[in-house]
Amino acid sequence: MNIHTPAAPHFNFDNTYARDLEGFYAPWKADPVPEPKFLAFNHDLASQLGLDGDALKTDTGAAIFAGNTTPEGASPLAQAYAGHQFGGFTPQLGDGRALLLGELIDQQGNRRDLQLKGSGRTPFSRGGDGKAAVGPVLREYLMGEAMHALGIPTTRALAAVSTGEPVMREAPLPGAVLTRVAASHIRVGTFQFFAVRKDWPKIKQLADYVIDRHYPEARNDESPYLALFKAVAEAQARLVAGWMHIGFIHGVMNTDNMSISGETIDYGPCAFMDHYAPNTVFSSIDAQGRYAYANQPVIARWNLTRFAETLLSIAAPDTDRATELLTEAVNTFPETYLRHWLAGMRTKIGLTTELDGDLELVNELFAAMDGQNADYANVFRQLSKASIGDETPARALFSDDTAFTQWLEVWRIRLASEDLSPQDRAIAMDRINPLYIPRNHKVEEALSAATESDDLAPFNALLAVVRAPYVEVEGQQLYAEPAPNDDTPYQTFCGT
Ligand code: AMP
Ligand code: MG
C-alpha cells in the first residue's frame, strides 16, 4: 500500500522586525487551544508564499495556525502601537490578541508578515481576552479575498482554524484563530507609540526600517523622511480611492488600523454598500458617522496628519521647517486623492481619455443615484450594457430614473468623443465593475451557518463567487442582487 505522507511543514522565516527593532515589541507565546481544526486554508496564497500547501493542510498545520506549535524559525512577538480611536488618543494599544510569527519572502521577492490573530492574551491585551470568534475570523478571510480579487491592496488570510473552545461575547461563540499575511503590520499607531513617548531615536529607527522595507526610493531623496511621508500619503490616497470605487466602507479607520504600507487592514465592522448613500455607516459603534462612506477620504487625511506629527522632529533640520514642509505635504492630499479617484471613476464609466468636465460628469452620476435606492455595484455594472444600447437594466435600478436618464444622454455624447469601439469599451467596463461583491446578507448567511451549525458550505460558495468578481456565471444571479426585503439597515458589530 502506498500511503502518501506529506512532508513536515517548513517556513523559510527571516525575521527583520524581531532582529532589527528590539524595543518595539514584546516576545510572546500563543495560548494553546484544545482542538484546532481547519475552517479554511488558502492554497493559492500558500503557493505564492513558497509554502507547501499539502504539508500545511494537516493536523500539524492546524496546530501551527492555532498557535499550539511554534514553527521552526518563528520569533513570535506582540507589536507595540498606540492609536486614535474615533478621534480619542490611547497611548498604548498594541497587539492585544495577535502575534507576529515572522516574515517570509514570497515568490515575487516581497517580504510578508505572517501573523496569528486571536491567539490569546499578550502584555497589550488590557481588558480583552485575546481571542477571536469564528464569525469575525471568517468575515476577515472573505473580505480580504474579495478585496484582493478586486485589485485593492489588502492583507489576506492564509488560514482560519477553529479552536474547540468558546469565546465570551454577548453570548458564548465558537473561537477561532486567523493567520494573516501582510506587507507589514506597521501602522500610523506604531509611530504614534514612540512619538507620544518623545522617543525620537526610535521614530528615526522605525522610519528607516519602513523606508528600507516599503519605500526604498525615499532613501535617495534629499529629505528621506519627508519623501517617506509623501509616499505613504500617495499609497493611502490610492487605497481609499480604491475603496470608494467599489463602495467599500472600512468602518474603523482608527490610526492603529491604518497600515503604513497602504494595504487595507483589520477588517472589523466593514461592509460593502448596497444602495448608494454617501452617509452610509454600518458599524453599530459609529453613531456619529465618523467613518461613513463619503467621509473616508477626509479621515484618511486626518490620519495622515497624525502620522505627519510623529515625523516633526526628523523630517527637517528644525521643527519649524518640518512643520511647514509636512503641512504642505498634508495639504496636497485632497488633490492626490482626487487624481486617483477620478482616474478610477473614468475607467468605471468607460472613459479612456481625460477631458475637462469629466469630474462634473462623474459627480452628476452620483447626484442622480443619491436618494434613488440605486444599487451601487449594479449601476456601474449595467453601464456597459447601456453603453451598447440597452439602458433598461441600468434604469431599472433607480426608484426615479429621470435624472439618470438625462445623465445617460450627456454620457453618450462624451463617449462619442473617444475612438474605442463600443464593444471593446463594454468589455473593458465589465473588467473593472464587479458583478459579485460580498453582499451583506450573503456574508451574514455564510457566517451564521458557520457559527451556528458548523456549516461551511455557504461560506465556501460565497468565497468562490467573490474570488471571481467580474465574469458572469450562470446560476449565481442571487449573489449579484441586494437582499430581497432590506428595509432594516444593515449593522455590523465590533464584537470581534
Ligand atoms: P481593533 O478595533 O480590532 O483594531 O483593536 C483595537 C485594539 O484592541 C488593538 O490593540 C487590539 O489588539 C485590541 N483588541 C481588540 N480585541 C481584543 C481582544 N479580544 N482581546 C485583547 N485585545 C483586543
Ligand atoms: Mg486594529
Q: Which residue's CA is minimally distant from atom 22 of ligand 1?
A: 96
256 is catalytic: yes
33 lies in the same domain as 148: yes
pLDDT (tens, 9 = 90+) of the chain, 496 residues, equals 556 677 789 999 999 999 999 999 999 999 999 999 999 999 999 999 999 999 999 999 999 999 999 999 999 999 999 999 999 999 999 999 999 999 999 999 999 999 999 999 999 999 999 999 999 999 999 999 999 999 999 999 999 999 999 999 999 999 999 999 999 999 999 999 999 999 999 999 999 999 999 999 999 999 999 999 999 999 999 999 999 999 999 999 999 999 999 999 999 999 999 999 999 999 989 999 999 999 999 999 999 999 999 999 999 999 999 999 999 999 999 999 999 999 999 999 999 999 999 999 999 999 999 999 999 999 999 999 999 999 999 999 999 999 999 999 999 999 999 999 999 999 999 999 999 999 999 999 999 999 999 999 999 999 999 999 999 999 999 999 987 766 666 777 644 5
Domain shared by 330 and 197, yes or no: yes
Q: Both 233 and 309 in a single domain? A: yes
User: Is residue 407 assigned to a domain?
Assistant: no
Answer yes or no: do 147 and 192 share one domain.
no
pTM beyond cutoff 0.95: yes
The reply to whether ligand 1 has any atom less than 6 angstroms from the CB of 131 is yes
- Looking at residue 482, its pLDDT comes to 85
Of 319, 342, 365, the position where a domain reaches its end is 342
Q: Are residues 139 and 260 in the same domain?
A: no
- For ligand 1, whether the C-beta of 270 sits within 6 Å is no
**Ligand 1 neighbourhood includes 139 CB (under 6 angstroms):** no
Residue 356 lies in a domain: no
Q: From the CA of 96, how far away is ligand 1's center (Å)?
A: 5
Residue to probe by mutation, ligand 1, list 84, 85, 97, 266, most atoms within 8 Å of CB: 97
Cα first-last separation, the chain: 47
* Domain assignment present for 22: yes
Are 177 and 213 within one domain?
A: no
Question: In terms of Cα–Cα distance, which of 453, 450, 452, 446 is closest to 478?
Answer: 446
The answer to whether residue 265 sits within a structural domain is yes
Regarding the beta carbon of 119 and ligand 1, being less than 6 Å apart is answered no
> Is there a single domain that holds both residue 203 and residue 274?
yes
Q: What is the pLDDT of residue 2?
A: 53
pLDDT at 486: 62
| Residue-level pLDDT at 223 | 97
What is the pLDDT, as a whole number, of residue 7?
79
In a domain, 379, yes or no: no
Pick the atom of ligand 1 nearest to 122's CA.
21
Ligand 1 atom at minimum distance from 129 CA? 20
Residue 314 sits in the same domain as residue 261: yes
Distance, C-alpha 471 to centroid of its chain: 22
- The alpha carbon of 136 and the centre of ligand 1 are apart by a number of angstroms equal to 13
| Residue of 125, 143, 264 with the most ligand 1 atoms within 8 Å of its CB, for mutation | 125
Residues 214 and 166 in one domain: no
Among 182, 198, 232, give the residue marking a domain's end.
182
Q: Looking at 95, 256, 401, 430, which residue is catalytic?
A: 256
> 267 CA distance to ligand 1 centroid (A)?
12
Confidence (pLDDT) at 8: 82
> How many domains are contained in the chain?
2
- The protein residue with its alpha carbon nearest to ligand 1, atom 13, reads 96
Asked if residue 176 and residue 30 are part of one domain, the reply reads: yes
193 and 280 in a single domain? The answer is yes
**CB–CB of 270/161 below 8 Å?**
no
- Can you tell me the distance from the alpha carbon of 270 to that of 141, in angstroms, rounded to the nearest whole number? 12
Verify that 271 and 338 share a domain, yes or no: yes
Domain edge (last residue) among 119, 147, 182: 182
Residue 376 lies in a domain: no
- Ligand 1 pocket residue status of 496, Cβ below 6 Å: yes
Q: From the CA of 118, which ligand is nearest?
A: 1
Q: Which domain holds residue 271?
A: 188-342
38: in domain:
yes
**Residue 269, domain member (yes or no):** yes
Closest Cα to atom 17 of ligand 1: 128
| Among 93, 137, 258, residue to substitute to test ligand 1 (most atoms within 8 Å of Cβ) | 93
252: Cβ below 6 Å to ligand 1?
yes
